Amino acid sequence: MRLLLLAMLLASAAVWTLPAAAEAQALTEEQARAVIAPFYLALNAGNDPVALIDGATSPDWISCGGNDACRRRDQVETTIAGVEKSVPDLKWEIKEVLVAGDRVIVRGEASGTPVGTFLGMPPAGATFRVMSIDVHTIDAGKITRSYHLEDWMGAVRQLSGH
């Protein structure tokens, strides 16, 4: 898994080349973890996602998923609150952090047991565990843009027993 992630990062190195001004803002891993920690706490059930996301992101933060489907901060906060109602034990763990200048790449893992309809699946007591990859851009100590992919089809397979 680490080799695959490293290969993907090396293959896209030309895209990730930063201008000189951005290089001056290079983050340490410790600084990166401090910036992203509240964001990942927001994804865990039982916390206040709006307050945590507002604190971790810039007011104009954009979150983009597959096919560059991007949403504003308020839209993401509403979605997270809805997911936490269906999956009240939702847990999102940071498994690995890589830093490239002002970009923070996070390999994460989400898990939970839905009690309401989730991803079109009725609740059946099944638990899911999926991997996620996020790429956050940091400016002035705030997340300004995020790209993310999660294995939600894997969650559907786990929840359906297939």
Q: Is the pLDDT of residue 2 over 80?
A: no
Q: Please tell me the number of Cα atoms within 13 Å of 91 on its side-chain side.
A: 9
Query: What is the CA angle 34-145-97, rounded to 5?
Result: 40
* Two tokens, residue 53: 């996301």
DSSP 3-state helix, strand, coil percentages of the chain (rounded to 5)?
A: 40, 35, 30
Question: Given pLDDT bands bounded at 50, 70 and 90, which one contains residue 15?
Answer: very low
Least confident of 10-19, 89-98, 107-116, 140-149: 10-19
Cα dihedral 37→42→43→44 (10° resolution) = 90
DSSP code for 153: H
Which pTM value belongs to this model? Answer: 0.81
Q: What residue ranges define each of the domains in the chain, with the CATH number in brackets?
A: 22-160 (3.10.450.50)
Report pLDDT digits (tens) over 78-127: 999 889 999 999 999 999 999 999 999 999 999 999 999 999 999 999 99
Sign of CA dihedral 4, 2, 18, 102: positive
Contact between residue 112 and residue 90 where contact means Cβ atoms under 8 Å apart: yes
Assess whether pLDDT exceeds 70 at residue 143: yes
